[in-house]
């Protein structure tokens, strides 16, 4: 039997490839988590601006076709997201149990579908967090409610970042409660039926 002889050059090459992969993947994950935090702080800032603004000024959006295009996209994706969540909550399961069941059943197609929708929604939420939504409080609250639900799902979907998304979910829940109180006090605008249905789907 031939003895295995270690090749220092081969080991060095392997270590280099592994380290490069680890560095690239690690940097990508750090950037993603950083973006998640930035999104939350942006929405927190919008709540503060909404709290202290003298009067809303939504006119800036009327000619912004990109804004309305993204708005339609997030509403459409949220509808798909809610539909997918409902399939996970069958048989009296809570959402967390439904997500965990995907892993127990090794349902890779559903896990992949859920991950893709979540990633697209996260990017859109970040976009809107930089769009002065204090002038559109109903959309601001809708997005915060969506972000809270996304964090709940991510907490179950990405076990290595469970604590991070758990804390972020709690913070969004608090933000959502503050917005609800503020909107009740300061806004006389009616919630459009489609948004009410979508937000209801996220919290039901």
CB burial class (10 A; 0-12, 13-18, 19+) of residue 151?
A: buried
pTM, full prediction? 0.78
| CA distances for 8 relative to 1, 4, 13, 16, angstroms | 22, 13, 9, 12
DSSP codes joined into one string, 134-197: GGSHHHHHHHHHHHHHHHHHHHHH-GGGHHHHHHHHHHHHHHHHHHHHHHHHH--PPPPHHHHH
**Per-residue model confidence as pLDDT tens for the chain (204 residues):** 445 444 554 455 545 544 554 455 667 788 888 999 999 999 999 999 999 887 666 555 556 789 999 999 999 999 999 999 998 887 678 888 899 888 888 889 999 999 999 999 999 999 999 998 988 999 999 999 999 999 999 999 998 899 999 999 999 999 999 999 998 887 554 445 555 666 666 765
DSSP structure class, residue 55: S
């Amino acid at each position: 039997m031939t003895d295995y002889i270690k090749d220092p050059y081969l080991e060095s090459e392997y270590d280099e490839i592994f380290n490069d992969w680890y560095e690239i993947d690690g940097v990508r994950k750090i950037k993603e988590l950083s973006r998640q935090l930035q999104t939350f702080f942006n929405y927190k800032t919008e709540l503060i601006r909404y709290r202290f603004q003298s009067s809303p000024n939504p006119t800036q959006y009327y000619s912004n076709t990109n804004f309305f295009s993204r708005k339609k996209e997030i509403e459409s994706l949220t509808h798909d997201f809610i539909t997918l969540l409902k399939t996970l909550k069958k048989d009296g399961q809570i959402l967390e149990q439904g997500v965990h069941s995907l892993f127990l059943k090794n349902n890779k197609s559903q896990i992949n579908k859920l991950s893709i929708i979540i990633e697209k929604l996260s990017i859109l939420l970040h976009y809107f967090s930089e769009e002065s939504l204090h002038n559109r409080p109903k959309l601001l609250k809708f997005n915060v409610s969506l972000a809270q639900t996304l964090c709940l799902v991510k907490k179950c979907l990405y076990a290595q970042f469970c604590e991070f998304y758990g804390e972020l979910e709690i913070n969004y829940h608090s933000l959502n409660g503050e917005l609800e109180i503020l909107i009740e006090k300061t806004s006389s605008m009616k919630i459009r039926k489609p948004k009410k249905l979508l937000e209801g789907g996220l919290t039901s």
